[in-house]
Structure 1
Amino acid sequence: MTEPLILAVPKGRILEECLPLLARVGIEPEPAFSDESSRALRFRTNRPGIDLIRVRAFDVATFVAHGAAQLGIVGSDVLAEFDYSELYAPVDLGIGHCRLSVAEPADLAAKDDPRGWSHVRIATKYPNATRRHFEARGVQAECVKLNGAMELAPVLGLAPRIVDLVSSGRTLKENGLVEVEVIAQVTSRLIANRAAFKTRPEVVPLVDAFRRAVIGADAA
């Protein structure tokens, strides 16, 4: 008996946008998936050959790259940070819109010009993507790796600037920061393990179903 396909989905804000998309593809998680008190991480669906796992966004790419999950939904920010050669990202799902941006305290921004930077110290959970961005401009980026609470770094003197995801900008504003440069526009992608794409025949039809669901949503 063939093991079910594992589809990794991210915890957090993207998950709410994922669920209608999954429904259009014909995938409905078991009731426990919506139970906020449940500690389960793997869930059955209405499709016997498909299970879901719910993990941190950064871990989605790792599970799929190493073949523990065959498919996943993850932001293009994560793909840029890890750059796994084992991943194939065939479908832009058109959800999870935000941007990866550089921000700094408002009083610094008032007298600062990013075009004049030669060296920057930045707190971020995206050190690889941040370094690549600045290297392309000839700027040396010293990155301090954080996994959260990025906005505290300038306030407490850890680093004068941050690189983080920005959606509405409200969190930045409430912490006295302003956006000064956009590194990349971000959306969520359907990703597949390259080996599974070739060896599991049920992967391709599922990818095609996601593609049709996105086209249908755009048409609506």
Structure 2
Amino acid sequence: MSDPIILAVPKGRILGEALPLLARAGIVPEAAFADDSSRALRFRTNQPDIDLIRVRAFDVATFVAHGAAQMGIVGSDVLAEFDYSELYAPVDLGIGHCRLSVAEPADMAAKDDPRGWSHVRIATKYPHVTRRHFEGRGVQAECVKLNGAMELAPVLGLAPRIVDLVSSGRTLQENGLVEVEVIAQVTSRLIVNRAAFKTRGQVVPLVDRFRQAVAA
């Protein structure tokens, strides 16, 4: 039997939405996957030819692009940030709905007009997406790369604005920030390594199972 297909799934909020979808596609992880005390990162499933790895969302794209995993589930925000040519995203899974937005302190927003910006300093973990967005508007974006706690940047004077994922907006509100511009709507996608798509016989049927799971 050939090596199992490795499917990379993200830790965090999206995983909770992805598990029912995996089940509808006929993939159920071993019991250890649900054990919060387990430090394991690779898990067997009820399908002997499919293993799961659980990694950070940004790392899903890297594992699949470099062929360490053949398939994965990741947000379209991550795909836009990395833009790996080795990735194919055949299925919008319809989960993980949120948006990538520009936010700033409420008192600044009360007298600010994004149409008048010519230069912005922004804290974000999406520097490439942010620069591309603002370049398209003729605005120079100076990006400060952060991996988390974005809402602290305006409060502590690191950058007056942030670009981050927004779902309910509660985190922004609790930190005195408001959305002033939406860069992109985000959903999670099934991604496939292009070489694996051509050479691993299990991949195409598995993609079809995910399509059917979404339709169901």
Distance 2:73 2:165 in 1: 17
- For residues 30-82 of structure 1, the C-alpha deviation after alignment (integer angstroms, 9 at most, x for no partner) is 00000000000000000000000000000000000000000000000000000
Aligned to 1:32: 32
Unaligned runs of 5+ in 2: none
Aligned to 2:169: 169
Aligned to 2:147: 147
Aligned to 2:49: 49
Q: Which amino acid aligns with 2:178?
A: V
Distance 1:115 1:83 in 2: 27
Query: After superposition, where does 1:182-201 map in structure 2 within 5 Å?
Result: 182-201=182-201
Distance 2:141 2:117 in 1: 10
Distance 1:69 1:20 in 2: 21
Aligned to 1:208: 208
State the 1:176 CA deviation.
0.2
Q: Which amino acid aligns with 1:73?
A: I
State the 1:106 CA deviation.
0.1
Distance 2:15 2:214 in 1: 16
Distance 2:51 2:123 in 1: 36
Partner-residue secondary structure (3-state), 2:181: strand
Distance 2:85 2:177 in 1: 35
State the TM-score, normalized to the length of structure 1.
0.98
State the 1:160 CA deviation.
0.1
Moved over 3 A (4+): none
Identity across matched positions, percent: 88
Distance 2:17 2:94 in 1: 10
Aligned to 2:129: 129
- Name the Cα RMSD after superposition: 0.3
State the TM-score, normalized to the length of structure 2.
1.00
Aligned to 2:7: 7
State the 1:194 CA deviation.
0.2
Distance 1:15 1:59 in 2: 14
Aligned to 2:102: 102
Unaligned runs of 5+ in 1: none
Distance 1:133 1:197 in 2: 31
Distance 1:22 1:72 in 2: 11
Matched, 1:21 2:21: yes
